[in-house]
Amino acid sequence: MKYRFNLRTWLLVALMALPLLTNVAFGQEEAAAAADPGPESAYSSEEYIASEGYATFAVNNLWICIAAALVFIMHLGFATLESGLTQSKNTVNILFKNVWIITTGILLYAFWGFNSMYPGDGNGFFAMGSWFGGDLNDASLTTAEYNAGYTWWGDFIFQAMFAATAATIVSGAVAERIKLTSFMIYAVILVGLAYPISGYWKWGGGWLDARGFYDFAGSSVVHAFGGFAALAAVLILGPRKGKYTSSGIKPIVGHSLPLAAIGVFLLWLGWFGFNGGSALSADPKAVSYALTTTSLAAAAGAVASIFTSWIVLKKPDLSMALNGILAGLVGITAGADTVGEGSSVIIGLVAGVIVVFSILFFDKIKIDDPVGAVSVHGICGMWGTIAVGIFSFDPGHSLGVQILGTVAISIFAFVFSFVVFFVLKMIMGVRVSEEEESEGLDVAEHGAPAYHIS
Amino acid sequence: MKYRFNLRTWLLVALMALPLLTNVAFGQEEAAAAADPGPESAYSSEEYIASEGYATFAVNNLWICIAAALVFIMHLGFATLESGLTQSKNTVNILFKNVWIITTGILLYAFWGFNSMYPGDGNGFFAMGSWFGGDLNDASLTTAEYNAGYTWWGDFIFQAMFAATAATIVSGAVAERIKLTSFMIYAVILVGLAYPISGYWKWGGGWLDARGFYDFAGSSVVHAFGGFAALAAVLILGPRKGKYTSSGIKPIVGHSLPLAAIGVFLLWLGWFGFNGGSALSADPKAVSYALTTTSLAAAAGAVASIFTSWIVLKKPDLSMALNGILAGLVGITAGADTVGEGSSVIIGLVAGVIVVFSILFFDKIKIDDPVGAVSVHGICGMWGTIAVGIFSFDPGHSLGVQILGTVAISIFAFVFSFVVFFVLKMIMGVRVSEEEESEGLDVAEHGAPAYHIS
Amino acid sequence: MKYRFNLRTWLLVALMALPLLTNVAFGQEEAAAAADPGPESAYSSEEYIASEGYATFAVNNLWICIAAALVFIMHLGFATLESGLTQSKNTVNILFKNVWIITTGILLYAFWGFNSMYPGDGNGFFAMGSWFGGDLNDASLTTAEYNAGYTWWGDFIFQAMFAATAATIVSGAVAERIKLTSFMIYAVILVGLAYPISGYWKWGGGWLDARGFYDFAGSSVVHAFGGFAALAAVLILGPRKGKYTSSGIKPIVGHSLPLAAIGVFLLWLGWFGFNGGSALSADPKAVSYALTTTSLAAAAGAVASIFTSWIVLKKPDLSMALNGILAGLVGITAGADTVGEGSSVIIGLVAGVIVVFSILFFDKIKIDDPVGAVSVHGICGMWGTIAVGIFSFDPGHSLGVQILGTVAISIFAFVFSFVVFFVLKMIMGVRVSEEEESEGLDVAEHGAPAYHIS
């Protein structure tokens, strides 16, 4: 199939772009207005730098910026993990999707998402987005007056890196058979519109936050959201050809375990920023504690899934070990700052066991998720959120509310994803043809294979 | 061809090494003299640590050190990007060149470059270099007295990581047919001698700086410099055999797009340090703002080049998407702290369009640049520098001066590179034989292929 | 051979797990007791944040946390370096071992190692370990009262990342023929029990520290330890089949030099944290100075080994260039804060020469070390430690004590490793069968090859 931007596609794109362009125009105008008082400078004044508390603010904001860089590198981690666990004939396609997600993700978050997720006030369920641009002359954006931990732009760049993660999780689950243009539109809607909505519920001060729901760095807000969005997409999409045959399940093995391992190690590295940065300052106690619980859970997740899969599959399975690390990381994400060190080990161990059985379960019921994204992010994201209700040393955290919150976000993600994906299926189709799938998306969609090793 | 260090080669190497050795000897002597007053310690005194402003200085310097680490990882990014976009039979050669560039680059910057680029004063055009070694007992090097943002060594290590970038840019453009020893000598001269000269013009306070030329993090000082040095080298070197045939342009595809994608993501990560560190302190406003404009431009560059190449080439092209990211990054580098957020998106979009047409243009006029380095770094570097003259909110930035600056640096790089490369061609040749090119440089020059996958 | 957990294996595992489980139980109990006074919070109090010295403590601790992340990424560096330098049929096995080492390494350090290595007091030779968990309400763990540079958890996570390095070094040397379960048990004992013992001798304030032995970041404590433990293991294990034949040495080349290069660049990046973090604070002078000497030595190591191997092997050898970088890094690790910049270049140059001849020497005497770990870490670790006695500008550092220290640690590592490995050989065997070795460990042990590139 040739990829033309046909009329239907163009209309869809144009429809989506309209509000954004309005936002830019508006944003530029605003910025122009703001610049009126005189020339702006991106640098703090000497008075401010010499003022009390400046150093603390500087180290806080620096950590948020570095954490943003670490979360950014998770997108390379996802790209290599997903590539490694799938067939070499679909590698270009996966890398292309990941470039698309991170780049449009940042732009959409600037044009709409940031202000939609953090509206300041609102009805608790939904807020309109708008261009995020701020005024460099406005001290209430550039100093601790805005937030003790970061400037307006530190806040934006850290949150923007998070936003794209949701669609990246889906990318792995739908790999090897999804139609590129459909995925591109789907990802844009998911990252641009849906993620800020449920994100607002908790982190933007919406209805879940008001009920005392706790999700430190996003076991639910990011991971369960992505995992259950992925589940809906996979259900509509169906399994890859040849996976579930009349003679049983035929494993479709990944093409490069080194790539997959690189991915998981980079994801772990990125999680230092994901969880560590979620302390929202460089608070020595909070940052070092979160990194400790995060690493303990990752380690415990790997060990648990190594032994679990060894017993179940009768061999030491590398991809299960790698998924165990991710399971532990996803599991500890909701409570990294609020559970004991011993509890973080237990949370990781449980996540490492869960992920093995969950992957086998979904395979058994013929839900084809090439990289185990639904299990790692969806199921372990739920587990991590619920675990806060069990292990937290803050008596304010309630098991019931934790369950409510993770279920609410997961259902929202599932339904939203289902509807969007279903509509896309009706309008333009979501799956490549059988010939294209068999040929591989790299040649069929991109006209170029990923490898030429002579 | 066997690589012997023949007489001519040795003479050249010896000639180059002479002034450096003098510098070491001198440096060691100086250091010895400096050590006389008593034992040095690399640690700050307790009094200094307890003094006002220490924390601010510590966080500033820390950020410069971390930024140096991030810029360092760009060299891995370049190594994998260049490897990925070229044939597997030349992979060892590219990796070897990249190891050579970063390691000799650091040493040359210590022996000559740092003090040549930052002489403190001088005639504005050229300054002699010397061994950089500083005295640990000298408070004017180790405290905010030296600079509010870093110590002498923080300054050195950050700048040293930048220095090698120029030659790395060339490395990609001349790949697959350059003679190793010639490139090694060329890279040493370019990094060691040429880069500090035009670097001095702007960042060392030379004539361009005096005229109000602005280049925040090096769209011209680093990227246009590298890109136009590359253009000169490629012109002398000629295209790869079999690329431009009587029956048209025959694409020579890269051997591993995952490697290329890893490279571009690592380069983006490194750019957090390249641009963020160029704030030259941890100023919360400046650092977070630079990271925001940098990421927006990178994202916009990718989106623009995805759609541009899709329309032109009729397919979604991964390597164009990757080059679009780099184009946006190079484009925003000159003005990351002095243009609006909306402007950074526009700068990135334009860069993403430019890079596609530029790559196609150079291919059309039979200038063979395997990785698109001239377009990405040269052309987009020029664009980014000029864009400051258009979009800057600092009224002191003039379009005319920006054009003057980028043209001056580009011409200098081109001419210097042309002369050196031409002389090398006369003395020892710059291109491998046809047999070696066809066999691949890995076996021909290094006696070992890069891959043995059974 | 099928991997069953047979009775003997289970007994061994259970025996090892017993004290650890006791520690957890105890730790949980303690934590429960500690929580009694009221709900803990991972965040510092507002009073503390506003207090004098807080910003300095925050930046110090932040650097230690970031340094821990950098050291963490060295484990990916080792994984890819070792994979790249060995055959593709053993890649899964190597990656699996590296996942095992870093994950169990962190857990063991939590359960035993940290308190065993830093007992606070003791007999100077050995201390019992215990669960590390600390009390978040205890200001003597969470503020500068604990240490001016980090909290209890910052200390833990930084040291935990170091701990696993020792076993990772061994992993490369024993690659391609070691039995997986035996290595897993061996690694656990080495990281969990042995490393903290000799680590205590120096960094925990034990007998070597009392004698004035100096090892800034672990040329001996980490690298010589790992290198000589590896030597013992390799001696017992014997060379790979087909390496040393009656017709001479048959090189077994690595399967992917890009993977190896990625590994070395990541290791260098990680060394910014390994050495920079060993300043144990963000002291501007100390951190920037250590990064400078570290980078100079790495660069010099590469240049020296490029020319040395070129002269000896008659070709520009990439893997020697890469090992030269590592040699320089290992060499400077003991004295990065206490030798001059010129000395750091010399230390790196010497290391780069040593490593080439050492690798050739071990190959000549038929000690088969696929990645050169004994030479890079063992021999150059010794050299770096001794170099402190030669080049240090601190008159308190004595050549005799430096030799004593590095020899003591190396012998301890060798003997400990030899005994454990020998016992494992007796109990369960340490080497795979000839058929498995020839088939490759990936299929033989893990039932899955690393690559499926169509």
Task: Choose the weakest-confidence range: A348-352, B20-24, B288-292.
Answer: B20-24
- For A116-149, write each residue's pLDDT tens digit: 999 988 899 999 999 999 999 999 999 999 999 9
* Helix, strand, coil shares, percent, chain A, to 5: 70, 0, 30
**Bridge partners, C381 (sequence order):** none
Q: Which residues contact C223 (CB under 8 A, 6 or more apart)?
A: C169, C330, C333, C376, C377, C378, C380, C381, C384
Instruction: Kindly provide the residue ranges of all beta strands, DSSP E only, lying in B20-154, ordered along the sequence.
Output: none
pLDDT band at B12 (very low <50, low <70, confident <90, very high): low
Report which DSSP code applies to B282. -
- Which residue in A39, A107, A150 is closest to B299 by CB distance? A107
- The answer to whether residue B70 neighbours chain A at the CB level (below 8 Å) is yes
Choose among A56, A66, A110: nearest Cβ to B296. A110
Q: Given A44, A96, A105, which is nearest B284 (Cβ)?
A: A44
Element (H, E) at B245: strand B244-245
* C26 pLDDT higher than 60: no
pLDDT of residue A18: 55
Q: Which residue has better confidence, C311 or A33?
A: C311
Write out the H or E segment, with its range, that includes residue C245: strand C244-245
Within 226-285 of C, beta carbons closer than 8 Å to A belong to 256, 259, 262
CB pairs under 8 A between B and C: 215
Supply the pLDDT for residue C40. 81
- Pair of tokens at residue A181: 């243009």
pLDDT grade for B35, boundaries at 50, 70 and 90: very low
Q: Is B91 on the interface with C (CB under 8 A)?
A: yes
Q: Choose from A74, A266, A268, A318 for mutation: most chain C CBs within 10 A.
A: A318
Residue pair A301/A322 in contact (Cβ under 8 Å)? The answer is no
C118: left (phi over 0), alpha (psi -120 to 50) or beta: beta
Q: What is the pLDDT of residues C401-419, one digit of tens each?
A: 999 999 999 999 999 999 9
Q: Which of B66, B258, B285 minimises the CB distance to A91? A: B258
pTM for this prediction: 0.95
According to the model, what pLDDT value does residue A3 have?
45
Q: How far apart (Å, rounded) are the C-alpha atoms in residues B306 and B284?
A: 33
Q: Write out chain C residues lying below 8 Å of A310, CB-based.
A: 3, 5
E-assigned strand segments in C14-58: none
Using DSSP, how many helices (H) and how many strands (E) does chain B show?
Answer: 21, 2
Mean pLDDT, chain A, rounded, equals: 93
Contact state of A316 with C153 under an 8 Å Cβ cutoff: no
Cβ contact A354:A325 at 8 Å: no
Which helix (H) or strand (E) segment holds residue A245: the answer is strand A244-245
Rounded CA separation C202/C210 (Å): 8
ipTM of the complex as predicted? 0.94
The whole-number pLDDT of residue A35 equals 47
Percent of chain C whose pLDDT exceeds 90? 89
Question: Model confidence over B80-132: pLDDT tens digits?
Answer: 999 999 999 999 999 999 999 999 999 999 999 999 999 988 899 999 999 99
pLDDT digits (tens, 9 = 90+) for C163-196: 988 889 999 999 999 999 999 999 999 999 999 9
Contact C384, C198 (CB under 8 A): no
Task: Provide the token pair at C388.
Answer: 């402190």
* Contact (CB<8Å) A61/B302: no
Q: Are A254 and A85 in contact (CB under 8 A)?
A: yes
Q: What is the pLDDT of residues A33-63, one digit of tens each?
A: 444 455 689 999 999 999 999 999 999 999 9
Distance CA C366, CA C373 (A): 15
Chain A residues in contact with C56 by the CB 8 A cut-off are 55
Find the radius of gyration of the CA atoms of chain A: 22
> What pLDDT was estimated at residue A16?
57
Residues of chain A found within 8 Å of residue B341, distances taken between Cβ atoms = 27, 31, 110, 132-134
- pLDDT surpasses 70 at B4: no
Contact at CB, C257 and B450, closer than 8 angstroms: yes
Dump strand ranges (E) for A250-319: none
Residues of A in contact with C152 (CB under 8 A): 288
Best of C285, C315, C332, C344 to disrupt the B interface (most B CBs within 10 Å) is C285
C-alpha–C-alpha distance, residues A150 and A160, integer Å: 14
Strand, coil or helix: C230: helix
pLDDT at C275: 98
Single-letter amino acid code for the residue at A255? H
| Contact in structure between A260 and A88 (CB atoms under 8 Å) | no
Q: Which of B51, B52, B57, B59 to mutate to test the interface with A (most CBs of A within 10 A)?
A: B59
Amino acid at A271: W
Which two tokens mark B445?
């020059």
- How far does the CA of residue B267 sit from the closest CA of chain A (Å)? 11
- High-pLDDT (> 70) share of chain B, %: 91
Cα of A131 to nearest chain B Cα, Å: 9
Question: What residues of chain B lie within 8 A of the CB of A76, using their CB?
Answer: 261-262, 265-266, 269
Q: Do the Cβ atoms of B157 and C60 come within 8 Å? A: no
Residue B410 has pLDDT above 90, yes or no: yes
B316 touches chain A (CB under 8 A): yes
Q: Give the torsion through C-alpha atoms of A50, A56, A58, A60, to 10 deg.
A: -170
Give the per-residue pLDDT at A120.
86
For residue C257, is it left (φ>0), alpha (ψ between -120 and 50) or beta? alpha
* Mean pLDDT, rounded, for B427-446: 96
pLDDT of residue A167: 84
Residue-wise pLDDT for A350-380, tens only, equals 999 999 999 999 999 999 999 999 999 999 9
Maximum pairwise Cα distance, chain A: 75
Minimum-distance CB partner of A133 among B282, B340, B393:
B340
Residue A183: its pLDDT value, please?
97
E strand or H helix at B249? strand B248-249
Single-letter amino acid code for the residue at A87: Q
Task: For residues C41 and C96, give the distance between their C-alpha atoms in angstroms, rounded to a whole number.
Answer: 37
The interface residues of chain B toward chain C in range 23-62, judged by CB-CB distance below 8 A, are: 24, 27-28, 31, 35, 39-44, 49-50, 54-62
Please give the pLDDT value at position B15.
Answer: 57
C-alpha distances out from residue A441 to A436, B312, B350, C2, C196, Å: 6, 20, 29, 37, 51
Sign of the C-alpha dihedral computed for residues B229, B235, B238 and B242 taken in this order: positive
Q: Please indicate whether, in this complex, the C-beta atoms of B286 and A80 are within 8 angstroms of each other.
A: no
* pLDDT the model gives residue B382: 98
- Strand, coil or helix: what is A451? strand
Q: C55-446: CATH homologous superfamily?
A: Ammonium transporter AmtB like domains (1.10.3430.10)
Does the pLDDT value for residue C265 go beyond 90? yes
* C positions 127-166 inside 8 Å of A (CB): 131-134, 136, 142-143, 150-154, 156-157, 160
Q: What is the DSSP letter of A376?
A: I
Cα–Cα distance, C282 to C55 (Å, whole number): 11
The closest CB to that of B276, out of A28, A35, A65, belongs to A65
So what's the pLDDT on residue B3? 45
For the cut 50, the answer to whether the pLDDT of residue C263 exceeds it is yes
Rounded to whole angstroms, the maximal C-alpha distance in chain C is 75
Neighbours of B106 (CB within 10 A): 28
Can you say how many angstroms the Cα of residue B220 is from the centroid of all Cα atoms in its chain? 10
Calculate the dihedral angle through the C-alpha atoms of B39, B45, B46, B48, rounding to the nearest 10 degrees: 160
Q: Which two tokens stand for residue B72?
A: 């360092």
Considering only the beta carbons, identify the residue of B73, B151, B259 that sits closest to C285: B151
pLDDT in tens, C279-294: 999 999 999 999 999 9
Residues in B closer than 8 angstroms to A44, CB to CB, are 283-286
Residue ranges of A 100-129 with Cβ closer than 8 A to chain B: 100, 102-107, 110
Instruction: Quote the radius of gyration of chain C (alpha carbons, Å).
Output: 22
Of the partner residues B88, B283, B393, the one whose CB lies closest to the CB of residue A40? B393
Tokens (6 digits) for C245: 């034949």
